Structure 1
Amino acid sequence: MSAALACLRRTSKRRRDAPDHALPPSSKQPLMAHAGADAAESSSSASASASGGDGASAAAAAASASSAPASPREVHFFVRATDSRTIAMHAGRDDTVGAVLDHLGACGYGRDLRLVYAGRQLAPEVTLAELRLPPDSTLHLSARLRSTQHPHAWQLASHIASTAAAAESDPSRIPAAAFALDELVKEFILRAHRANLGLSRHDRASTGEDRAAADHAAEYLDIFLQAGAALALVRLYLSKSPFRSYAESAIKCFIATDPSSLPMDVLVVTAPVLLEFCRLLSLAAGKKELLYRSCRRTLASVLSTRPRLPPSMNSPTRLIEQVLPFARETVDVVLDGLASMPMLISPSDLDEFSNFLKVMCQQARHWISGEGPMPSNLYSRESEHGDTWIWRFHNMSMDMLKRLDECLKTLEMDLSLSSESTGVMDSQTTWAARSHILVMLTELDFISAIYEDVGHNLQLVLLAHRAPLNALVRCSKRNERLHWLVKHKNLLCFEARRNLVFMMLPEGKDDFGELHEMLIDRSHLLDESFNYIAQAKQTELRGGLFMEFKNEEATGPGVLREWFCLVCQALFSPKQVLFSPCPEDKRRFYLNETSAVDPLHLKYFTFAGRIIGLALMHKVQVGVVLDRTLFLHLAGRSITLEDISVADPVKYASCKKILEMDAAEIDSLYLTFSRGAHELGTEKVIDLCPGGQNISVNIRNREHYIDLLIKNIFVDSISSQLTHFMEGFADILVNPKRREEFFECLDLEDLDRLLGGNNNAINLQDWKSHTQYNGYKEKDRHITLFWKAVERMSIERQRQLLFFWTSVKYLPSDGFCGLSSKLYIYKTSDSPDRLPSSQTCFYRLCLPPYTSLKMMENQLQKITQEHVSCSFGTW
């Protein structure tokens, strides 16, 4: 017996669920049944006890049995009871199956019992000697006649168990099959897979192919457990036998991710086998055993895929109770990592942590029937019963929250010291390396849907440590599970919110083979752009864009930025009758309810939604912003009177006046719950509610009238246009269902900065500080003349020059530092009568050496004419 199993035996002796029962001795050879170290040590009496059905107890039973060597006239074997308990047995070789059954019946296991081995029922009159049971065989106790649909599976599983047992008990007489235990296990897995493939059409039609396949695979793996194959393999692995490595290879067959060795239909139902391995190895080999950790990690991965579980695991309470000890181990590993100075956690440990927590949360929420978090007074009563999973899971969650609070406090101090000493925070790479803290906060957010106080305390922790939270979110890499932070957007700065919404947009591809290619004629810019974008599949657009203008050599990101600006300028032009500019802010647009004059207007609204989404995806500021009414509708929020002040200041003023009137003044207006509207050149009256033309507006119902009026003008009258615009925008998102969440994460001012850019005057000093020179020096006379000429330009001329230089007309909200690179001025050898040129992809302005301020101004004036600046760049 190995030292590990001896340790296991001593542990099992303390189990409360394995009581001893003194029984009269058999008239024949002594018959004993036990499941732990408390077996009878005297030959004058026998005892019977059973473990709670877990593999750890089975291993304990095996250890105990091996500690008391049987005589040549004794047979040692296991019995699996109907309640999943495992019973270790010693009996005489001359004892019959019937005597064993009588003994088990006397121990309280029931009457009319049957014993099954290798898929067949054993006759009561047969002696144990005649059965020729391999060492440590497992028999199955049944209260009725039992049959199996998979006799070959029973035979192979029993062969694996007996081979492993023989290799462990007597290494000097090893069967040849011991050298190929892993091949036997692979064959067993392959048979399970073939059984799935061999399902009849009737089975597939009546139960569904996937479900039937899963049932067959689960039945096979259950046979593997019932036959004692898992237990035998672990015993061999833990022994000092020279064949223990073969057992390790066999166990690893269930850890493999290669579909050729572990097909997916089998993989998804391996949880019970992995759980058995974890129990046995954990108790017998210890938490640091590499094979145990591999089994535990695979168990977490398999469970997180939400497989169909067998009856022993399909109860939320049962599954949580079985998984919680292993989840707690993983949580402790992660907490220990956070407690270290670098706060580092390995990716594999983090994945295992997330997978276990995902399973726990899913099952717990299923247990509470999705009715929301439990009030704290409900589960605090469980503290009186500290062994309940409800309270243990809660304590584990609070331990996580406490450690994260400490980590964020440390990061906040580091951030403060770093800012004081250098004036800047740590690099983005440094903060990105701490992203595991956000992963743990994410798991706690899921747990907050179960425990009321976890959510409350999580909010307090985030509120107390806004600075490190923002630094983590700003520098976080793409992770769709961070969307829960949307509900905490009031704690996040603009840069953090921007990073969150960019995670909802595709990344695009740099490989031109993955890009949606366009060749556009400038003279038919809008029509050809519409054909390329509106008719493309969603997946084609999410991969990115590559475009060029016909008869022009320029290509690349600079040309793409130019195209975005030109298309938006044409699309939002009042000439298209799709959008209307706000009277007091010509850059801000809302949907035009008279757009139906264009028979293609709905398709163009889909196109417009896609263009806006693509501009955000490619981080191009197009100088166009959306009105608050349109923004609120995209975010799924209602529109109030105050929200229409920019889109329709006249209507806003008249409604405000109605709210201020007295009863007589309102009555004198003779208003009804209706409004007049123009449709295709004709006047019509629209009821704001059924029979609205017959309902007068008075002082009591005026607020309701205004609410209905606003809804009709800014929602109902343009509902079709809104729907198509929203669908077009959602086409670009990674997950179209997150459209409202995308806008919910932003304020209107945030979207203005992302889409419209900075509309303020260009900071010339900022421009200079972000410009570098090639061939020139900063103090050269030509550069001095250049900046003096730029300084004397109008704001619009400066924008045209910047657009000619970079294809950027509206800077990001943080100015030139928000661009992807510095700007460059290259000296050319061209004569002074030549115009400047640019390479917009690289932000390069190629400037001839003009000798006077007048010459410099004249040449720059020529390239800043709008019809020139939009088509003069080169690649």
Structure 2
Amino acid sequence: MRQHSFAVAVYQHSILYFKGNRGKSWLKINLYIIYFQIMRLPAYELRRRLYIIFRGEEGLDYGGVSREWFFLLSHEVLNPMYCLFEYANKNNYSLQINPASYVNPDHLLYFKFIGRFIAMALYHGRFIYSGFTMPFYKRMLNKKLTMKDIESIDPEFYNSLVWIKDNNIDECGLEMWFSVDFEVLGQVIHHELKPAGDKERVTEANKEQYLQLVTQWRMTRGIEEQTSAFLDGFNEVVPLEWLKYFDERELELMLCGMQEVDVDDWQRNTIYRHYTRTSKQVVWFWQFVRQMDNEKRARLLQFVTGTCRVPVGGFAELMGSNGPQRFCIEKVGKDTWLPRSHTCFNRLDLPPYKSYEQLCEKLNFAIEETEGFGQE
């Protein structure tokens, strides 16, 4: 098989293998092949134990490599540049389905593929790169959408509905009808909220019905087929009925982990080998972590664990190759060495650096300039 290709899935006993290359371009080059592999397999095969191999690397996948694979792949397939998803608004970077996705004639197949992939991530306990809007999670859970749900994705539209609700429509002299218009790619699309809606005026007596219908329309406009395709793919791997015990925020945490890194919780749930909590290198390490911004902390966490997300229960619930595995800092090597990570064991090999400045320099270099996995 050629070096640049993404290998077919391999079955061995109860394990599902995926092989591929790392690098900024391999996902773009082989995304269609990944799509083909996931779509052609029966759903039960996608629930097998996963084993991910990055060609040419030493890493053995006891959990860490697959975490990285899901993180990288989700970053690519959910990228708004493909026009399948878009950001909720300029101040909310949660993702929602893009009504203009129909410009790609195969978009419904891609949404089904993404649904399967997201379900795989949930089933195998892996985090994805970016989360969806709360209304989208509620749609996955088949929960009723309310007017308040619009606020997070379209504050101006929400405020206009609140004004209608709080004021007497008959006294304002507004001419409103049970129909709406919206624009997609320069084309104005007209929609009747109910049969013959163009001919029925909104009044104080019927405005509650109008608010209910326009809320439902705003949350589903132009994306009904795409949402259905996504849910069909998801349901094939993880039956949606299994999600009925969760609410939308719990579902987000299961898929994305915690967004903020709690350093106190991180430090409290870290163990040490050949170091102690009072070793100067350990004190320097936590000093280094605390002076970082949250983005850089997340990148450090990804360097060591394979993902920048934290489990729902915090650092106490980090998982390794054999179950729960605390974040570990081990004294290894010489002060001239760079730090190394063992993502399957959530372990950082931290050499005995001689100064705080040296530790910062080496850790910064490891986080910013290196990629790949160590082997144990």
State the secondary structure of the residue aligned to 1:810: coil
Q: Is the 8 A contact 1:805 1:873 kept in 2?
A: no
Query: 1:525 maps to which residue?
Result: 27
Which residue is 2:178 aligned to? 673
Residue by residue, what CA displacement relative to the aligned partner does 1:410-433 show, whole Å, maximum 9, x if unpaired? xxxxxxxxxxxxxxxxxxxxxxxx
8 Å contact kept, 2:47–2:124? no
Contact 2:137 2:252 in 1 (8 A): no
Amino acid in structure 2 at the alignment position of 1:777: T
Is 1:572 equivalent to 2:84 in the alignment?
A: no
For the Cα contact (< 8 Å) 1:631–1:743, is it kept in 2?
no
Q: How has the CA–CA distance of structure 1 residues 768 and 679 changed in structure 2, closer, same or farther, with 3 Å as cutoff?
A: closer
Mapped pair 1:775 → 2:274: yes
Aligned to 2:99: 593
Give 1:835's aligned residue. 338
Contact 1:802 1:809 in 2 (8 A): yes
Contact 2:254 2:311 in 1 (8 A): yes
Cα separation, 2, equivalents of 1:708 and 1:874: 55
What amino acid is the match of 2:294? Answer: I
Aligned equivalents of 1:598, 1:633: Cα separation in 2:
23
User: Which residue does 2:7 correspond to in 1?
Assistant: none
SS in structure 2 of the partner of residue 731 of structure 1: helix
| SS of equivalent to 2:285 | helix
Show the 5 A alignment for 1:339-418.
none
**Would you say 1:697 and 2:217 are equivalent positions?**
no
Hey, what does 1:844 align to over in structure 2? 347
Name the SS for the 2:52 alignment partner: strand
Q: Which residue of 2 aligns with 1:684?
A: 189
Q: C-alpha separation between the residues in 1 aligned to 2:114 and 2:93?
A: 16
Partner of 1:858, secondary structure, is helix
Q: How does 1:52-451 map to 2 (within 5 A)?
A: none
Which residue in 1 is equivalent to 2:327?
Answer: 823
Instruction: Report if the CA contact (8 A) 2:57-2:372 is conserved.
Output: no
Q: Pick one of 593, 597, 602 that aligns with 2:108.
A: 602
Output aligned runs, 1:581-660, within 5 Å: 581-583=87-89, 586=92, 588-622=94-128, 624-660=130-166
CA distance in 1, matches of 2:338, 2:272: 18
- Displacement of 1:682 after TM fit? 1.9
> Does structure 2 retain, via aligned residues, the 8 Å contact 1:767–1:816?
yes
Alignment of 1:433-512 (within 5 A): 512=12
Aligned to 2:261: 761
Is the 2:150–2:158 contact (alpha carbons within 8 Å) kept by the matching residues of 1?
Answer: yes
User: C-alpha separation between the residues in 2 aligned to 1:786 and 1:640?
Assistant: 46
Letter in 1 for 2:107: H
| Shift, 1:724, TM fit | 0.9
The answer to whether the 8 Å contact 1:515/1:545 transfers is: yes
The equivalent of 2:247 in structure 1 is 747
Is the contact made by 2:177 and 2:198 (CA closer than 8 Å) also made in structure 1?
yes
Paired residues in the alignment total 354
Q: Using the alignment, how far apart are the partners of 1:729 and 1:621 within structure 2?
A: 15
Distance 2:293 2:12 in 1: 39
Partner Cα distance (1:713, 1:663) in 2: 20
Does the residue aligned with 2:173 lie in a helix, a strand or coil? helix
* Alignment deviations for residues 121-154 of structure 1 (CA, whole Å, 9 cap, x no partner): xxxxxxxxxxxxxxxxxxxxxxxxxxxxxxxxxx
CA contact (8 A) 1:672 1:694 kept: yes
1:587, distance to aligned residue in structure 2 (A)? 5.3
Paired AA for residue 367 in structure 2 = T
| Structure-2 change in CA distance of 1:629 and 1:771 (3 Å) | closer
After TM superposition, give the deviation of residue 512 of structure 1 in Å: 4.9
Distance 1:565 1:551 in 2: 19
Please point out which of 313, 322, 334 is paired with 1:814. 313
The separation in 1 between residues aligned to 2:278 and 2:142, in whole angstroms, is 55
Instruction: Report the alpha carbon displacement of residue 803 of structure 1 after superposing the two structures with TM.
Output: 0.8
Q: Is the contact between residue 518 and residue 548 of structure 1 (CA under 8 Å) also seen in structure 2?
A: yes
Q: What letter matches 1:599 in structure 2?
A: P
Query: TM-score scaled to structure 1, two decimals?
Result: 0.38
Q: Is the 8 A contact 2:57 2:373 kept in 1?
A: no
Cα distance, 1:628–1:775 mapped onto 2, change above 3 Å: closer
Per-residue deviation, residues 456-505 of structure 1 (Å, max 9, x unmatched): xxxxxxxxxxxxxxxxxxxxxxxxxxxxxxxxxxxxxxxxxxxxxxxxxx
Task: Work out the CA distance in 2 between the residues paired with 1:663 and 1:565.
Answer: 49
Supply the distance in 2 between the matched residues of 1:783 and 1:684 (Cα, whole angstroms).
61
Structure whose residues are more often helix by fraction: 1
Relative to structure 1, the CA distance from residue 571 to residue 774 in structure 2 (aligned partners, 3 Å threshold; closer, same or farther) is same
Offset of residue 665 of structure 1:
5.6
Does the 8 Å contact 1:771/1:823 carry over to 2?
Answer: yes
Supply the AA of the counterpart residue of 1:642: K
Distance 1:666 1:729, change over 3 A: farther
> Which residue in the other structure is 1:726 paired with?
231
The answer to whether the aligner puts 1:706 opposite 2:211 as a matched pair is yes
State the alpha-carbon separation in 2 of the partners of residues 858 and 520 from structure 1. 32
1:796 corresponds to: 295
Match of 2:57, SS state, is coil
% identity of equivalent residues: 29
CA distance in 2, matches of 1:543, 1:780: 43
In the alignment, the residues of structure 2 paired with residue 752 and residue 587 of structure 1 have an alpha-carbon distance, to the nearest angstrom, of 14
Name whichever structure is richer in strand by fraction. Answer: 2
Whether the 8 Å CA contact 1:837–1:872 is kept in 2: the answer is: no
Q: Which of 778, 786, 792 pairs up with 2:285?
A: 786
One-letter identity of the residue aligned with 2:27: L
Instruction: Tell me how far apart the structure 2 counterparts of residues 605 and 792 of structure 1 sit (CA, whole Å).
Output: 41
Other structure's SS at 1:626 match: coil
Give the CA deviation at 1:623.
Answer: 5.2
The whole-number CA distance in structure 1 between the counterparts of 2:92 and 2:51 is: 30
Aligned-residue offset at 1:831: 4.7
Instruction: Give how far 1:790 is off.
Output: 1.9
The aligned amino acid for 1:827 is K
Is residue 854 of structure 1 aligned with residue 357 of structure 2? yes
Q: Could you tell me how far apart the structure 1 residues matched to 2:20 and 2:98 are?
A: 27
> CA 1:622/1:585 → structure 2, altered by over 3 Å: closer, same or farther?
farther
TM value normalised by structure 2: 0.85
Residue 134 of structure 2 contacts residue 249 of structure 2 at CA under 8 Å; is this kept in 1? no
Are the equivalent residues in 2 in contact too, given 1:577–1:592 (CA < 8 A)? yes
Q: Give the whole-Å Cα distance in 2 for the aligned partners of 1:547 and 1:519.
A: 6
TM-superposed CA distance for 1:613, in Å, is: 1.4
Query: What is the match of residue 234 of structure 1?
Result: none
8 Å contact kept, 1:621–1:808: yes
The residue type paired with residue 15 of structure 2 is L
C-alpha deviations, 1:834-858, integer Å up to 9, x for none? 3211111111212222211111111
Secondary structure of the 1:624 match is coil
| Maintained 8 Å contact 2:125/2:254 | yes
2:159, 2:64 → 1: CA distance?
44
RMSD: 2.4
Distance 1:699 1:608 in 2: 43
5+ long unaligned stretches in structure 1:
1-510
Q: Is the 8 A contact 1:753 1:812 kept in 2?
A: yes
1:664 Cα shift? 4.4
Quote how far apart the aligned CAs of 1:731 are: 1.4
